[in-house]
Chain A
Amino acid sequence: MRDLQPQLTPLESLRSYTSLFLRSAKAGFAYQASTFTEILTAAFIYAVPMLVWRQVYAQDPTGMPLSKEHMFPYLLLACCVNYSLSMGVEFRLGNRIRSGLIATDLLKPVDFQVSQGVICISDSVFHALLGLSVFFCGFLFLGPAVFPASASSFLMFLASFALAFLIQYGICFIFVQGAFYTYSGYGIFAARGALHQTFSGLSAPLAFYPPFLKSAGDWLPFQHAIHTPVSIYMGWAEGAQALHLLGQQAIWAVGLYFLGKLLLVGSLKQLEVQGG
């Protein structure tokens, strides 16, 4: 199958990826009502942990690992980063594998893993724009506490966010390999979602975690998708410490990319597409 593909020059590949990005972005903005309900749903989902923590702080704010003034900006930022990293790659690819449409994706003269990543970038840009409106609403409630600790923190946050995207995509791409082996799209989505929810620091900073849960999370990449970029933004990690975290993110991003590539080879070997 691969031998039939024409070889593209780097410039042609770039054009193909740009075109793919623009078309995916247009599709994202096509359904306004759907977008509105998506924001509303996300607001409900993210509001619940915030309201739980609000109650905890109202009961007894003493002895908490973080002050209220740090906790709620963290939660807001974590929600915005998480929302910006939303990508429908599991459902999209799962459906295409089940319906056989994956064959057309594999025939395209571009790298499959990269092209899916480009579509995810458009997902991420779309959600980041919506996430900015959530951030602005948070600003109205929380004030300047939601701004980055310093200009350098913000610059390093941007780098960290880009790496967080690569990590998130890398994890999703690995989990989506499961769709080549099972009929269930839900199982794949749920398994990754459960691990992400537990270990990413989305609902609480890692300082709040019991030691065993935190130690388990240290061995996994999920915290580098949410907790690391937000910590850098908040100025909890600065200078050498922030650079060290960026290095860890980069290692995870590269590792996950190559692991995904390796797994894809095995998945494609056992893929059967029914014709007719």
Chain B
Amino acid sequence: MRATLELYWQAFSAALQAKFEYRVDFFLGVVTSCMLQSAALAFLFVVFHQTPALGGWSPEQVVLLFGVAATTLGVSELFFNHIWMVPYYVVMGELDRLLTYPVRSLPFLLVTRPELHAFGNLTMGLALSIGALYKLQAPWFAWVLLPMLVLCGGIVYTGALVIFGSLSFKFLGPTAMHLMIPHSLLQATRYPLGIYPGWFQYSLMILVPYGAFNYLPAGFLLGKALSPWLMLAAPTAAVVFLFAAQKTWDWGLSKYESTGS
């Protein structure tokens, strides 16, 4: 087990070092991902220019949701980003090489393409989360739980991407547009889920449970009369999605046909 983890770590480090060779790209990636987050923040700014609260959540509280969503995205982009290339690999038959390696294909694939713009999302997300917790004078356990929530968020989000990405084996296409569905659902958790229609709220809490690591724990931590048991929702969702992602990936691989010569 330890040797396997070391192997994944080495693969990740080597891929990250290769990416760091492109210094301009690193700088551009960080700047532009910060710009994208700022653009979304600008919308929040426009909204709060018109109203003092959104669904009972103050600007600082919404910024906390925003920060957790951005950090989660950053974690997934840094450690598990390669899933975005799967639709292309399936069409081009480029998965063959991966399948010959003596490793589990899914975790090895995920860790071998870190994205440099992840650092921008991580920096921005952490800055916003920490700033919001400080401004809200959050209790000590909120600070302790934040890394756990973000890690669980990264796993749930990546799991959702893998599930959608595995559909690429069945429905061939050159683009990763279907992966944009879990991605855009993550962006929806920047705002309190209570503002959405019931079916959409339940979708984001049960079907694609992003609310489990963002809205529900934040609601409890910010004293919104939610049960402390909801803190278990994030690790539970992470475990379920890890399992579901692996199963869906295995199903997808069973449908994989190479392209031939």
Contacts and interface: CB of A to CB of B under 8 A. Distances in A.
Interface of A: 31, 33-34, 37-38, 40-41, 44-45, 48-49, 51-56, 59-60, 63-65, 178, 181-184, 186-188, 190-191, 193-195, 197-198, 203-204, 208-210, 213
Nearest first, the 10 A-B pairs at minimum CB distance are A187-B28, A194-B35, A34-B173, A190-B32, A55-B195, A184-B25, A194-B39, A37-B178, A197-B39, A41-B180
Given A193-B39, A194-B38, A33 B171 contact: yes
A56 B44 CA distance: 12
A209 B180 CA distance: 28
Contacts of B117: 184, 186-187, 190
B85 interface: no
Contacts, number: 130
7 contacts: A34-B174, A55-B54, A65-B50, A184-B22, A204-B46, A208-B46, A209-B46
Nearest to A31: B173
Interface residues of B, number: 44
Contacts of A210: 45-46, 49
B177 interface: yes
Main SS of chain B's interface residues? Answer: helix
A198 to B, nearest CB: 4
A48 B29 contact: no
A34 B175 contact: yes
Given A190-B35, A197-B43, A52 B177 contact: no
A7 B12 CA distance: 51
A87 to B, nearest CB: 14
B40 interface: yes
B105 to A, nearest CB: 24
B54 A52 contact: yes
Given A41-B180, A49-B43, A56-B51, A191 B25 contact: no
B177 A56 contact: no
B239 interface: no
